[in-house]
Amino acid sequence: MRAVVDASVWVSARLNPKGYPAKVPQAYWKGLYTLVICEEALAEVGGVLSRPRIARKYGVTAGDVRTFVELLRDGAEIVAVQGTVRVGRDPDDYPLVEAAVVGGADFVVSRDEDLTRDPDVRRYLENKGIGVLTVRQFLELLAR
């Protein structure tokens, strides 16, 4: 199974390792799915985790951020996006949607309702054979 996972899931998992989203990277590192990701998404994860407010509140260091991003990169299929897909309300989501198409993902996994509930995004991806799942739906699918 191939999945593109939204940056918000990775950030949440890193900041709350006992939270439900933390099960997504655990499943990845166990080899339960192939992570398809683009450099833009990796940069977003690193950028959010590097924010001073996050560092202060959660004690995340620059080294922690580098290590986490490298762990995501390790074993993932990195795909190049060209900026040709512009579907959905939020332009920040365009690279994620394009990465799913370019990388032949089976699913996009997100906590972001701009992705999980937007009918244009869902229709576009479903027409490409790609499902859109919440974290809970994805983890339930992996558990089967």
Q: pLDDT of 100-124, one tens digit each? A: 999 999 999 999 988 898 999 999 9
Number of domains in the chain: 1
How is the beta sheet containing 77-79 ordered, strand by strand?
77-79, 34-38, 2-5, 107-109, 131-133
Q: What is the predicted pLDDT for the residue at 137?
A: 97
The residue range of the domain holding 6 is 2-143
**Residues in the chain with pLDDT values less than 50:** none
| CATH number of residue 105's parent domain | 3.40.50.1010
Q: What is the predicted pLDDT for the residue at 40?
A: 95
Q: What is the predicted pLDDT for the residue at 54?
A: 95
Q: What is the predicted pLDDT for the residue at 131?
A: 97
Q: What is the predicted pLDDT for the residue at 129?
A: 98
